[in-house]
């Protein structure tokens, strides 16, 4: 049965990542800086989250600015010009504006000519949701080449007086050029789910149509990110385990086949618990949360590109990407490099 699955996977048309890029703002905020802002300590943040520092956007920077920088790198690394792109998909939960979409602002920043562009809102899972959408659109012939961006600027929506949340996040963007694969490399399988019943555990309650911005919503600080951290934690571990195992099964692969596990970087303890549940040795689990904090949709493309730049991705390596985020949403993608 497993043999049959592998044969099927070999004959399948699939999409691949042609090139990657990422951008993180220059300004660094350390745990020691945070000690001066809220009642916290470097020791608490490191032991409870694994984060040591994070990058923070400047006052002038918006999400699309980060997206444009990451995209320029991805295009350059793929030896492409913006005219070679047929579609822009941008995953974010922190858009420049409610509308137009951040993808349209990024399209303007890149100077592309009438290329269709739209946003995906799937919390920290957005980059994987975007990859799954890209597969459908490329393999059914809608477009040939997609610029997929994950850009997030969470530090502009966290409450800098709330120690429960402000220590967790950073700003960054990652981008990937996606096209059809012409060999055995590429996306082997995916698994994606959502549960809107749990949306209130991680949300920005104010500023949308449910609770339009008003002096009252601002006074009550409802325009800031709110999270029941310990509840989110439990769901993240459970769902990331589920997504990873289901995606592997769909690819006809086993845990031992994984060369690199790239989990969404929300908390070292979530990453370790998921790795243990999947029985993946720690040396195969990529982490960079110590340097960036939780950068949401940007965490997976940045991790991939860092591994790539460190020359640790070998042709044929099996990579398992796994994410969980607001919605709740969760997804995993099994990929052959
Ligand atoms: C947020 C998170 C780090 C908190 O860790 P935790 O072990 O669950 O801690 P709790 O929320 O139970 O809080 C424990 C105590 O630490 C305190 N605490 C919270 N933040 C603190 C901080 N920055 N510094 C010091 N103490 C802090 C709390 O006030 C609480 O104190 P109390 O017991 O006196 O009330 C953790 O729950 C987490 O990472 N959750 C998931 C976050 C996530 O993944 N979000 C995005 C999904 S993509």
Q: Which residues contact 326 (CB under 8 A, 6 or more apart)?
A: 93, 123, 124, 199, 202, 203
Do 228 and 147 lie in one domain? The reply is no
Last residue in a domain, options 183, 203, 236: 183
Do 36 and 175 lie in one domain? The reply is yes
In 3D, which of 263, 95, 267, 91 has the Cα closest to residue 167? 267
Question: Which residues sit with their C-beta closer than 6 Å to ligand 1?
Answer: 40, 44-45, 48-49, 124, 163-164, 167, 202, 227, 229-230, 232-233, 236, 266-267, 270, 294, 324-325
The pairing of beta strand 186-194 with beta strand 146-153: unpaired
Do 170 and 196 lie in one domain? The reply is no
Distance 52 CA to ligand 1 centre (A): 15
pLDDT at 262: 98
**Residue 267 near residue 49 (C-beta atoms within 8 A):** yes
Among 30, 47, 48, 50, the mutation site with the greatest number of ligand 1 atoms within 8 A of its Cβ is 48
Do 133 and 216 lie in one domain? The reply is no
Phi, psi for residue 101 in degrees, rounded to 5: -65, 155
Distance 48 CA to ligand 1 centre (A): 7
**Residue 23 near residue 173 (C-beta atoms within 8 A):** yes
Distance 269 CA to ligand 1 centre (A): 12
Domain count, the chain: 2
Q: Whose CA is nearest to atom 29 of ligand 1?
A: 164
Do 133 and 203 lie in one domain? The reply is no
Q: Whose CA is nearest to atom 25 of ligand 1?
A: 40
Q: Does residue 4 lie within any of the structural domains?
A: no
Task: Write down how long the chain is.
Answer: 337
Do 117 and 203 lie in one domain? The reply is no
Q: 72-105 in b/e burial notation, b at 16+ Cβ within 10 A?
A: bbbbebbebebebbbbbbbbbbbbbeeebbbbbb
The pLDDT profile of the chain, 337 residues, written as one tens digit per residue, is 444 444 445 568 999 999 999 999 999 999 999 999 999 999 999 999 999 999 999 999 999 999 999 999 999 999 999 999 999 999 999 999 999 999 999 999 999 889 999 999 999 999 999 999 999 999 999 999 999 999 999 999 999 999 999 999 999 999 999 999 999 999 999 999 999 999 999 999 999 999 999 999 999 999 999 999 999 999 999 999 999 999 999 999 999 999 999 999 999 999 999 999 999 999 999 999 999 999 999 999 999 999 999 999 999 999 999 999 999 999 999 999 9
Q: Does residue 70 lie within any of the structural domains?
A: yes
Do 179 and 50 lie in one domain? The reply is yes
Distance 270 CA to ligand 1 centre (A): 12
Distance 31 CA to ligand 1 centre (A): 15
Q: Does residue 317 lie within any of the structural domains?
A: yes
Do 266 and 227 lie in one domain? The reply is yes
Rounded to 5°, the CA angle 316-174-310 comes to 45
In 3D, which of 74, 145, 134, 46 has the Cα closest to residue 308? 74
pLDDT at 113: 82
**Identified catalytic residue from 77, 124, 166, 260:** 124
Alpha helices in the chain (DSSP H): 2-11, 31-35, 42-49, 63-77, 102-110, 126-139, 163-166, 215-219, 229-251, 268-278, 289-292, 299-309
Which ligand 1 atom sits nearest the alpha carbon of residue 164?
20
Do 202 and 172 lie in one domain? The reply is no
Do 282 and 311 lie in one domain? The reply is yes
| 124 is known as an active-site residue | yes
Distance CA 23, CA 251 (A): 31
- The DSSP code sequence of 112-166 is -SS--EEEE--GGGHHHHHHHHHHHHHHTTS-S-EEEEEEEEGGGTS-TT-HHHH
| 223 is known as an active-site residue | no
Which ligand 1 atom sits nearest the alpha carbon of residue 232?
41
pLDDT at 10: 52
Angle between helices 268-278 and 42-49 (to 10 degrees): 20
Last residue in a domain, options 150, 183, 216: 183
Q: Does residue 1 lie within any of the structural domains?
A: no
Where residue 33 sits, what CATH number does that domain have?
Answer: 3.40.47.10
pLDDT at 12: 82
Q: Whose CA is nearest to atom 30 of ligand 1?
A: 164
Q: Whose CA is nearest to atom 10 of ligand 1?
A: 230
Do 137 and 234 lie in one domain? The reply is no
Q: Does residue 2 lie within any of the structural domains?
A: no
Structural domain of 302? 187-336
Do 177 and 216 lie in one domain? The reply is no
**Owner of token pair 């460190």:** 310
Structure tokens given for 244 = 């990873």
Last residue in a domain, options 183, 210, 238: 183
Q: Does residue 313 lie within any of the structural domains?
A: yes
Q: Does residue 124 lie within any of the structural domains?
A: yes
Q: Does residue 135 lie within any of the structural domains?
A: yes
pLDDT at 11: 61
pLDDT at 175: 98
Alpha helices in 168-228 (DSSP H): 215-219
Phi, psi for residue 184 in degrees, rounded to 5: -85, -10
- The DSSP code sequence of 243-282 is HHHHHHHHHT--GGG-SEEEE--S-HHHHHHHHHHHT--G
Q: Whose CA is nearest to atom 32 of ligand 1?
A: 164
Distance 279 CA to ligand 1 centre (A): 26
Q: Whose CA is nearest to atom 43 of ligand 1?
A: 266
pTM score:
0.95
């Amino acid at each position: 049965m497993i043999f049959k699955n592998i044969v099927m996977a070999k004959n399948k048309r699939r999409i691949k990542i042609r090139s990657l890029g990422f951008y993180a703002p220059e300004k660094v905020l350390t745990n020691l800086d945070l000690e001066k802002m809220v009642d916290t300590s470097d020791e608490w943040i490191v032991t409870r989250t694994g984060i040591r520092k994070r990058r923070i956007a400047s006052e002038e920077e918006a999400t699309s600015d980060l997206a444009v920088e990451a995209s320029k790198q991805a295009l350059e690394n793929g030896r492409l010009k913006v005219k070679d792109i047929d579609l822009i998909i941008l995953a974010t939960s922190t858009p420049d504006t409610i509308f137009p979409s951040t993808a349209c602002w990024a399209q303007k920043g890149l100077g592309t000519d009438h290329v269709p562009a739209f946003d995906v809102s799937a919390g920290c899972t957005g980059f994987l949701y975007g990859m799954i959408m890209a597969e459908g659109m490329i393999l059914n012939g809608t477009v040939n080449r997609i610029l997929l961006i994950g850009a997030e600027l969470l530090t502009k929506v966290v409450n800098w007086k709330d120690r429960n949340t402000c220590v967790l996040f950073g700003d960054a963007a990652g981008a990937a050029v996606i096209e059809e694969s012409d060999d055995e490399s590429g996306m082997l399988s995916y698994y994606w789910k959502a549960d809107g019943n749990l949306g209130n555990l991680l949300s920005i309650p104010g500023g949308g149509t449910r609770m339009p911005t008003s002096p009252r919503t601002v006074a009550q600080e409802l325009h800031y990110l709110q999270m029941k951290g310990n509840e989110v934690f439990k769901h993240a571990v459970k769902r990331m385990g589920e997504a990873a195992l289901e995606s592997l099964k769909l690819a006809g692969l086993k845990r031992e086949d994984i060369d690199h596990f790239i989990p969404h970087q929300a908390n070292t303890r979530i990453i370790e618990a998921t790795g243990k549940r999947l029985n993946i040795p720690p040396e195969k689990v990529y982490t960079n949360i110590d340097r960036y904090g939780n950068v949401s949709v940007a965490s997976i493309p940045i991790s991939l590109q860092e591994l790539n730049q460190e020359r640790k991705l070998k042709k044929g390596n099996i990579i398992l990407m796994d994410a969980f985020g607001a919605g709740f949403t969760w997804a995993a993608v099994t990929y052959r490099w």
